Amino acid sequence: MIKKLGLFLLVSATAAGCSNNAMEPEEINPEIDVCEVCNMGLAHEYYATEVVAADGEVYKFDDIGCMEEFLKMEANLQEETAAKKYVRDVDTGEWIELEKAFHAYHPDFWTPMANGVVSFKDKESAEQYVKKQGMGEVLDYQQLKKHEWSWTQ
**11-21 burial, b for 16+ CB within 10 Å, e for fewer?**
eeeeeeeeebe
152's CB contacts (< 8 A; 6+ apart) are none
Helix (H, G, I), strand (E, B) or coil at 52: strand
**pTM for the predicted model, two decimal places:** 0.82
Computed on alpha carbons and rounded to an integer, the radius of gyration of the chain in Å comes to: 18
CB-hemisphere CA count at 13 Å for 90? Answer: 23
Is residue 76 within 8 Å of 82, Cβ to Cβ?
Answer: yes
Mind listing the pLDDT tens digit of every residue in the chain (153 residues)? Answer: 555 444 444 444 434 444 556 889 999 999 999 999 999 999 999 999 999 999 999 999 999 999 999 998 988 887 777 889 999 999 999 999 999 999 999 999 999 999 999 999 999 999 999 999 999 999 999 999 999 886 544
Sheet containing strand 117-120, strands side by side: 117-120, 102-105, 137-139
Other residues' Cβ atoms within 10 Å of the Cβ of residue 135: 13
Instruction: Output phi, psi for 50, to 5 deg.
Output: -145, 150
